[in-house]
Structure 1
Amino acid sequence: MKTPVLFALLSFAQILLVAFLPFASAGLVDDTCKKTPYSHFCVSALRSDRRSSTADTPTLGLIMVDKVDANAKSSLAKIKDLLGKAPHPGTKRALTSCRESYQATRSAFVPSSKESLTKGDYKFAVEYMNSAASDASDCEAGFGGSKSPLSDLNNYEHKAASVASAIASSLL
């Protein structure tokens, strides 16, 4: 007689957990994003990734670092395409500089940030993501103040890296 009651209670507890866990995580996303410089961007970016529904704060940071990496990959593809069209020499110099920055993001900043967030050594993730954000801004500025052919990608990279840095900083 006790077994069916215990089974019913456990089943009910599982239903409650499944029903309310996404709301608890949505609250964590909102609370975490309020501490970032681009809170609306942060909420949108994190909620677009299904992992955020069950994530803790370090995992939210990892999700943002993944967004930085994916954008850097897209940026490199666009840079390659633009360089192949033999642009103006000044534009070519700016694109080459941007390529170096995005390559550094993918080869150094992203892997080191992921390791830092995974190992709980958050200060390095803050530094590396700040570097990625700064490099995206420098890439944009390298076009001499006019809107670059990478403006949307640079803007996204700057925001994503700034948010990733802020999330890591909140863990210090």
Structure 2
Amino acid sequence: MLLLFLLVLFTQNYFSHGDLIADTCKKTEYPRICVSTLRSNPDSKTADVKGLVRIILKAALGKANTILNQANDLLKKTKDRLVRQSLNVCVSVYEEALDEIPEASVNVGTNNFEANIEASATIDIADDCEESFSNSPFTADNNAVKQLAVVAVDIIASLG
């Protein structure tokens, strides 16, 4: 009987938390990327809303780091002056992102105003990198960073 009670309690908790992800994500501009990112991270099963936004920011940080590494690799290989200029823009702004995103994560729940500013800066970072090229090799990843940052801003705004 105790086992049955615990099973029912665990099941209710699991599904009610699943609703937290859906409820949180439906309030964002990009609910699909929000849900897929959170559902793919096992930590989201036990996270509160602040934890969910931190998971989104961690995903954005991972994408930002990928772009930074790829830009640095391409810088080593290309001689084209215009491409190098564009790559240098991406390196510069994504180095900034590697500072901004963790700061946003730290500030979530304690200083939501600052967290919002730092997450919003990440949107601009993705745009700056993308716009530095006439034909960006990072379009998909820049879009992912931007969308994740928008989701983070939307969730942070819901925290008040």
Q: TM-score range by the shorter chain?
A: over 0.9
Does the aligned pair in 2 maintain the 1:21–1:54 contact within 8 Å?
Answer: no
> Separation in 2 of the partners of 1:22 and 1:78?
38
* Unaligned stretches of 5+ residues in structure 2: none
Shift of 1:88: 1.7
Q: Quick one: which amino acid aligns to residue 128 of structure 2?
A: D
Identify the residue that residue 62 of structure 1 maps to in structure 2: 54
Identify the residue that residue 153 of structure 2 maps to in structure 1: 165
Does the aligned pair in 2 maintain the 1:69–1:106 contact within 8 Å?
Answer: yes
Shift of 1:120: 2.5
Shift of 1:89: 1.0
> Separation in 1 of the partners of 2:97 and 2:107?
15
Identify the residue that residue 22 of structure 2 maps to in structure 1: 30
User: Could you state the TM-score of these two structures normalised by the residue count of structure 2?
Assistant: 0.93
Q: Quick one: which amino acid aligns to residue 16 of structure 2?
A: A
> Separation in 1 of the partners of 2:65 and 2:72?
11
SS in 2 for 1:84: helix
Identify the residue that residue 42 of structure 2 maps to in structure 1: 50
Identify the residue that residue 83 of structure 2 maps to in structure 1: 91
Looking at CA atoms only, which structure, 1 or 2, has the larger radius of gyration? 1
> Separation in 2 of the partners of 1:96 and 1:46?
32
SS in 1 for 2:29: coil
In the alignment, structure 1 residue 112 sits paired with structure 2 residue 100: no
Identify the residue that residue 142 of structure 1 maps to in structure 2: 132
Identify the residue that residue 130 of structure 1 maps to in structure 2: 120
SS in 2 for 1:92: helix
Does the aligned pair in 1 maintain the 2:122–2:145 contact within 8 Å?
Answer: yes
Residues 26, 97 of structure 1: CA spacing in aligned structure 2 closer, same or farther, 3 A cutoff? Answer: same
Among 1, 14, 29, which residue is 2:6 paired with? 14
> Separation in 2 of the partners of 1:22 and 1:156?
28
Shift of 1:72: 1.1
> Separation in 1 of the partners of 2:126 and 2:65?
13
Does the aligned pair in 1 maintain the 2:30–2:151 contact within 8 Å?
Answer: yes
Q: Quick one: which amino acid aligns to residue 156 of structure 1?
A: A
> Separation in 1 of the partners of 2:101 and 2:120?
11
> Separation in 2 of the partners of 1:120 and 1:101?
26
Deviations 1:68-115 (A, max 9, x none): 1111111111111111112421111111111111111112x1221121
Identify the residue that residue 5 of structure 1 maps to in structure 2: none
How many pairs does the alignment contain? 160
* Unaligned stretches of 5+ residues in structure 1: 1-7
